Amino acid sequence: MDVLGLVALSAGLIVALGASAACIGIAIMGSKYLEASARQPELMNALQTKMFLLAGLIDAAFLIGVGIAMMFAFANPFVAAS
Amino acid sequence: MTTAHAKTPGEYIVHHLGHLNSSPPLPQGEKAKIVDWSVINYDTLFFSISLGLFTVFLLWLGARKATSGVPGRFQACVEVLVEMVANQAKGIIHSPESRRYVAPLALTVFVWIFFMNAMDLLPVDGLPLLWQVATNDGHASLRVVATADLSATLGMSVGVLVLCLFYNVKIKGAAGWAHELFTAPFGSHPVLWPVNFLMQIIEFLAKTVSHGMRLWGNMYAGELVFMLIALMGASWTFSTTGAMLAFAHVVAGLAWAIFHILIITLQAFIFMMLTLVYIGQAHEGH
């Protein structure tokens, strides 16, 4: 397998693994948020801000991965090196 | 396709990822280095500085035209923003003296990053095409989203790092901070000093890099998805099932643009919150 194929494969893996992990993270947080606001509805607004903040933080690692994978795909540093 | 001669999808994307910068044209077959300090990205500088000035002007206008009577829509909007940031700052930074500088900083950062991110919602080919027509050069590159350039976001996060160091020295004093550098997080036994110091350095590095990379990753990936959607629309003439692609292009573009409104606001908010949190950490002893 040549370098280009390996890079394409790894870019796919970066996106896929990151996406699945981020989805699990968002799902766990969302379910806990719903649970908490069912228990104490008066805290809903305060928790909502924090939930969105955390959603952004969870998403971020995945999206950094997507950015790096896309960089490998379109501005490939490995092909130039080989 | 944007120009008269057809480009392959790969060429289209690579062209869109090119900066208008000071680097000389590369020899054939040679790749640009990933880190090159001598290159200045003029497009990033232009869009970030002009949007920064626009932000400052807008907020200044809001402050100048403010009345104590019934507020108009614009004033109400600015007031909501100011109040939101002031409340967040109050919860995180407990020193009123620092807050007088840090809270307006956070507000400016929030609005500024929001505007820079919002450039993503303009048509992907719009401004670059105008630029190509204006310079009469079909190969001129221009990137309008300043936050999709790693230099810009890392520059901002390094700015926050400098502020953190400043407040560390200001609040704790040089000696107090040095004491903290060597005794936190594990303890004050001399054997632990190098480990503590290493941990502190790693913490500062990780905070700064992740702060900048988070914004960049979101915007870069978002910009690329817009390009891929544009490509989907552009390639409908090439294939037999093309009409479907043209339809999907409109639907996907619309859906991603609407979702992106959430992302750009959220990322601007997160960058602001983390700025506050990191500066707040500089105020607290371990």
Flag whether residue B267 sits within 8 Å of chain A, measured between CB atoms: yes
pLDDT at B155 over 60: yes
Tell me how far apart the alpha carbons of residues B51 and B48 are, in angstroms, rounded to a whole number. 5
Backbone φ and ψ of B147, nearest 5°: -80, -5
Superfamily in which the A3-75 domain is placed by CATH: F1F0 ATP synthase subunit C (1.20.20.10)
pLDDT at B4 over 50: no
Interface test with B, best of A63, A71, A78, A82 (most B CBs within 10 A): A63
Higher pLDDT, A11 or B10: A11
Report CB contact under 8 Å: A67, B217. Answer: yes
Domain ranges of chain A: 3-75
Q: Active-site residue numbers of B? A: 210, 214, 218
pTM (predicted TM-score) = 0.83
Residue B134: what pLDDT?
85
Average pLDDT over residues A56-78: 79
pLDDT band at B2 (very low <50, low <70, confident <90, very high): very low
- Chain B residues closer than 8 Å to A56 by CB: 266-267, 269-270
Chain B residue closest to A54 (CA)?
A: B270
Residue B110: what pLDDT?
94
Cβ-based neighbour number of residue B44 at 10 Å? 25
Higher pLDDT, B12 or B100: B100
Backbone φ and ψ of B134, nearest 5°: -65, -40
pLDDT at B234 over 90: no
Q: What is the distance in angstroms between the Cα of B2 and the nearest Cα belonging to chain A? A: 19
Flag whether residue B243 sits within 8 Å of chain A, measured between CB atoms: no
Q: Cis bond leading into B185, ω under 30°?
A: yes
Flag whether residue B266 sits within 8 Å of chain A, measured between CB atoms: yes
Tell me how far apart the alpha carbons of residues B189 and B186 are, in angstroms, rounded to a whole number. 9
Q: How far is CA A80 from CA A4, A7, B84, B122, in A?
A: 10, 12, 48, 33
Report CB contact under 8 Å: A53, B10. Answer: no
Task: Indicate whether this complex's ipTM tops 0.85.
Answer: no
pLDDT tens-digit series, residues B19-32:
777 766 665 555 55
pLDDT at A82 over 60: no
pLDDT band at B107 (very low <50, low <70, confident <90, very high): very high
Tell me how far apart the alpha carbons of residues B245 and B229 are, in angstroms, rounded to a whole number. 10
Residue B1: what pLDDT?
39
pLDDT band at A42 (very low <50, low <70, confident <90, very high): very high
pLDDT at A68 over 80: yes
